[in-house]
Structure 1
Amino acid sequence: MNSTDLIPAPHSAYEPLSDARYPLDHRTLLDAGPGTEGAARWLRATVGAATGLPLAPGEADDNRVVLRVDPGIGHRLGPEGYRIAVDGHAIRVDGGGPAGVFWAAQTLRQLLGPDAFRRAPIAARAEWTVPCGVIEDAPRFGWRGLMLDVARHFMPKGDLLAYLDLMAAHKLNVLHLHLTDDQGWRLEIRRYPRLTEVGSWRERTKFGHRDSPLWDERPHGGHYTQDDIREIVAYAAERHITVVPEIDIPGHSQAAIAAYPELGNADAVDTASLGVWTTWGVNPNVLSPADTTLRFYENVLEEVLELFPGTFVHIGGDECPKEQWRASPAAQARIRELGLADEDELQSWFVGHFGHWLAERGRRLIGWDEILEGTALEADPPEGVTAATKEAVGATGLAEGAVVSSWRGYAGGIAAARAGHDVVMCPKQQVYFDYRQAPGDDEPVPIGYVRTLEDVYRFEPVPPELTGAEAERVLGAQANVWTEVLEDRRRVDYQTFPRLAAFAEAVWSPLPPPLERDFAGFQARMTAHYARLDALGVDYRPPGGPLPWQRRPGVSGRPIDGSPPIV
């Protein structure tokens, strides 16, 4: 089977009949066994719509697509593994579980050609063909994620559903939704309606980096109702994607404090005067460590758990300035009451409270690598904190089962893995997709490091410093799409694609000997993949650079690789 155009590249492919092709036509039947009903529905709704083929249910001696769950495949390749065998009689799809059958269906669509990615036929065709042969495939990692920041710039539900389809097309299986931040609260909480009445919109928005003099004077806002979330979660589940919600605690919380000022450190700052933040950066307004704050967020999380059935709940935990806690008599009293050494340990206690609270309800906390601060696991602990104190606080600060999202490089993930905690690798130096894709003045709002398609393709989630047992703690990786300078879907598309295709291969496909990926081969396969993205309507960055409407002339960025800001 000619699999040279598949992305991500399969584990193995075999070509016994390089010129033979199997036809699909209006008489082709779809024979779906138990456990494959979801994949069958998806094939009829998606591939059927693009090809115009009915793919009617039924059995036949030939001219059929056969879907089966095969325990043998599951034992050998895992539940997400699959085998596609195409001969002169049928297309046989065997998955280790329902997810494996679904990922095989994604491969089958690629084999049909780019027009199979459209929503309706563009020309009358008597038949469609698939090359004959055998493919066996399985993912390298169980966590293959994409984080979408819908807090800074809201992404309407339709766009979010479209991104779930794009994730499925690339065999990604975790959508991390960044739902709350200083600039907006995007989730309806029925017990606390002001979180969306007040916290879901801001009066205006900084246009470009926070150093930019430009403003978009239009109010910006939006939120998802609880029924919206149920729909999103169900749509994702049909595509074997888990949605992980993020509710930021204790930093990145000004939108919540604007709605309920008592959540902030009112004895250190006038919280009643705060509105939803209109610019970017690290915000000093953090949550108060009061019992009432803990109860408030427990009530919020009770509703979150009802909406998101997955195991993991992300609580942020990053970029929490300590100045207000240092100035707050109530926070200082809390530190003394708990016998803590400093404000770092107060943050550890804050995170630990919710880690244990979630664990009691059968869930697992996941947070950015700052959740290591103030614990015995901190990779670079502050001076003046004794090992004994940090060990005691660490025992309560990072709950058993807590997972670290390692974003400030690999160090936090390495420290966590060595201490027996699971890790999701998402280092900003490699997989932050708001970062620019090339040097030069044409890149729109150039932020951060240059991270080209090749850079992302060569991303390796498992650092060499880890032993084999420690490496098993790396659940996988995710690409993070922060939206401070991404004001709409087209900008998100531009920053995310085609780099998401490279990332998908890094987390799905095996790392070939000599432990280096073939970028030239990937580029050749991308020729066909660009045509798929065109058919899907993705406004990706072309290989030759941005198109005129993709640029943002005059909008400043902030490169951080030694070059000055671009204005």
Structure 2
Amino acid sequence: MPAPVELLPGPTEGGAFVLDPDTRLIADPASGTTKRWLTSVLGPSLGLPLRPGDPSAADASNTITLRVAERLADRGPEAYELVVDASGVLIEGGGAAGVLWGAQTLRQLLGPDAFRRAPLRDGPRAVPAVRIADAPRFAWRGMMLDVARHFMPKDGVLRYLDLLAAHKLNVLHLHLTDDQGWRMPVARYPRLTGVGAHRARTRPGFGEDGPWEERPHGGHYTREDLREIVAYAAARHITVVPEIDLPGHSQAAIAAYPELGNTDVVDTSALEPWDRWGINPNVLNPSDATLEFYENVLAEVLEVFPSEWIHIGGDECPKEQWRASPAARGRIRELGLADEDELQSWFIRHFDRWLAERGRRLIGWDEILEGGLAPGATVMSWRGYAGGVAAARAGHDVVMCPQQHTYLDWRQSEDPDEPVPIAHARTPEDVYRFEPVPESLTEAEAARVIGVQANVWTETMDSARAVDYMVFPRLAAFAEVAWSSLPPPAERDVTDFARRMEAAHYARLDALGVEYRPPSGPRPWQRRPGVPGRPRDGAPPER
């Protein structure tokens, strides 16, 4: 899980390979950190030392061998081949990442106990004889984790990196700022976390008449925390893409530094980090001082995050304050722009140039198309497929994440006990039928779809247990869509997917301590009676 491109029974002579205390682990230098990772997970879970072997020994037996093979390079750095016979395990990758994905497959072949942190029994462990050749369909296989609405402490983020790696996902999009909270410290602007990292209260669910939870909510990471997250991810061949929202979704920043808002139409000094959900009218003013402020913020972001892509949001930016603001209207005239949509595009284009000058690339939600797309921008298409199609046809890279398929805050069934039900029901089987590349694209346009992403918005997820429930098992279905070359949606074998989940993968999630939604429905403690969601017949859920 996810299903490999090719899986064949291994040699019948000699049977399975048996790991025991004498099994050695051999790795070439090009295989990177996989040797250390494999020792750290299989050693404790199986109670085996997995001591280093001699890489120069010819025909060594009772070994697990990790190496990069030039013959696989043309299939990409994430391709791998895994061969198990009675003498040992050979994992070869097109690059270091491929070696890691092959090691993840080996862990699955060892059974659910290999996902635990201590051995449940002593003795040798058998791996079935098998030959697997595999490579991913998409280069970007991501999950967005919203830590701005409900903060997830560092250890929870590290745990999710392990879960992404276990499913061969390779991007963590970390949503660090929003109206309700700012989670990254910026040395030049300490009030961003001093003021912006906590809100006074929270209303569970989406009802306007429900009770408040009269308890401050917040938190933020240190720079060292974020560097640790990046390093932990890199050891698992996962890229962390930070998101700093602008020009909308910015009330936490404006509350910290009121001069960032449209002070000629709003008393921004009275603002606090928002305690509600939805689309916020308070947006950044379009002054040179605001641009300089966010340049300084992003300069510190670049120091922490080496990702090629930097996400700047760009979505759900109401234009009412700009229309009412003499300063904003004057800015439009000064820049020779047609309207407020072009003013937003001017914001995005500025940071597109600024990032490009520093060797980085801008990525934003599909609203960045409005008013004209910045030349180097990558579009993350969430409002269906249309934005992604338009961007691909215009020659821009696209990450597909249409809400109707990949938003994991949407309800999982029509069961009345589903907690805080949002929008339409999306089962794991529905996610499994997601096809990221529309048939209307030409071959060249389709090549612009560089990846797919599942998005985890946490307005209604106030704990790690709640996140687990909404994410799994649907993330397993998404991971197979992202990795495997599946047939068209109508021909996909959802029955076989469900069978493989029941036969093995739920047991792996149990071993990992994931509180997923069972196929039979929510457990009693997973329900949230009386907490309102957003009806499916209303407006689509806002970001």
* 1:122 Cα deviation from its structure 2 partner: 1.4
For residue 179 of structure 1, what is the amino acid of its counterpart?
L
Give the one of 34, 40, 44 matched to 1:39.
34
Contact 2:309 2:362 in 1 (8 A): yes
User: SS at the partner of 1:191?
Assistant: coil
Alpha-carbon distance in 1 for matches of 2:338, 2:197: 36
What is the correspondence of 1:194-233 to structure 2 with a 5 Å cutoff?
Answer: 194-233=191-230
Which residue in 2 is equivalent to 1:15? 9
1:238 aligned to 2:235? Answer: yes
1:425 aligned to 2:400? Answer: yes
Alpha-carbon distance in 2 for matches of 1:482, 1:338: 36
Contact 2:435 2:489 in 1 (8 A): no
Contact 1:85 1:91 in 2 (8 A): yes
Which residue in 2 is equivalent to 1:62? 61
Which residue in 2 is equivalent to 1:365? 362
Matched positions, count: 535
Give the one of 19, 22, 26 matched to 1:24.
19
Contact 1:18 1:131 in 2 (8 A): no
Give the one of 511, 523, 527 matched to 1:547.
523
Which residue in 2 is equivalent to 1:390? none
* 1:562 Cα deviation from its structure 2 partner: 6.3
Which residue in 2 is equivalent to 1:74? 73
Give the one of 88, 96, 110 matched to 1:98.
96
1:479-529 C-alpha deviation (Å, 9 max, x unpaired): 000000111110000000000000000010112379732111111110110
What is the percentage of aligned positions where both structures have the same residue? 68
Give the RMSD, CA atoms, in angstroms.
Answer: 1.5
Which residue in 2 is equivalent to 1:400? 375
Which residue in 1 is equivalent to 2:424? 449
Which residue in 2 is equivalent to 1:280? 277
Alpha-carbon distance in 1 for matches of 2:146, 2:240: 13
Give the one of 241, 244, 249 matched to 1:247.
244
Give the one of 525, 529, 536 matched to 1:560.
536
Contact 1:206 1:212 in 2 (8 A): no
User: SS at the partner of 1:333?
Assistant: helix
Alpha-carbon distance in 2 for matches of 1:123, 1:498: 28
TM-score, normalising length: structure 2: 0.97
1:154 aligned to 2:151? Answer: yes
* 1:399 Cα deviation from its structure 2 partner: 3.0
* 1:325 Cα deviation from its structure 2 partner: 0.3
Alpha-carbon distance in 1 for matches of 2:144, 2:269: 32
- Shift in alpha-carbon separation, 1:208–1:306, aligned structure 2, 3 A: same
- Shift in alpha-carbon separation, 1:407–1:514, aligned structure 2, 3 A: closer
What is the correspondence of 1:415-494 to structure 2 with a 5 Å cutoff?
Answer: 415-494=390-469
Alpha-carbon distance in 2 for matches of 1:322, 1:513: 40
> Structure 1 unaligned runs (5+)?
1-6, 376-397
User: SS at the partner of 1:145?
Assistant: strand
Alpha-carbon distance in 2 for matches of 1:215, 1:562: 23
1:131 aligned to 2:128? Answer: yes
Which residue in 2 is equivalent to 1:381? none
What is the correspondence of 1:280-319 to structure 2 with a 5 Å cutoff?
Answer: 280-319=277-316
Alpha-carbon distance in 1 for matches of 2:147, 2:244: 12
1:46-92 C-alpha deviation (Å, 9 max, x unpaired): 111100111100136210001110011122x2100000011221211
Contact 2:349 2:375 in 1 (8 A): no
Alpha-carbon distance in 2 for matches of 1:349, 1:295: 14
* 1:18 Cα deviation from its structure 2 partner: 6.3
What is the correspondence of 1:319-338 to structure 2 with a 5 Å cutoff?
Answer: 319-338=316-335
Alpha-carbon distance in 2 for matches of 1:212, 1:300: 37
> Structure 2 unaligned runs (5+)?
none
* 1:563 Cα deviation from its structure 2 partner: 11
User: SS at the partner of 1:315?
Assistant: strand
- Shift in alpha-carbon separation, 1:402–1:337, aligned structure 2, 3 A: same
* 1:548 Cα deviation from its structure 2 partner: 0.3
Alpha-carbon distance in 2 for matches of 1:347, 1:357: 16
For residue 13 of structure 1, what is the amino acid of its counterpart?
L
Which residue in 1 is equivalent to 2:496? 521
Alpha-carbon distance in 1 for matches of 2:446, 2:511: 38
For residue 479 of structure 1, what is the amino acid of its counterpart?
A
For residue 515 of structure 2, what is the amino acid of its counterpart?
D
Contact 1:335 1:342 in 2 (8 A): yes
Which residue in 1 is equivalent to 2:508? 532
For residue 102 of structure 1, what is the amino acid of its counterpart?
L
User: SS at the partner of 1:205?
Assistant: coil
For residue 554 of structure 1, what is the amino acid of its counterpart?
G
Alpha-carbon distance in 2 for matches of 1:117, 1:26: 19
User: SS at the partner of 1:314?
Assistant: strand
- Shift in alpha-carbon separation, 1:283–1:227, aligned structure 2, 3 A: same
Contact 2:178 2:250 in 1 (8 A): yes
User: SS at the partner of 2:329?
Assistant: helix
* 1:239 Cα deviation from its structure 2 partner: 0.3
Alpha-carbon distance in 2 for matches of 1:562, 1:374: 28
Contact 1:210 1:281 in 2 (8 A): no
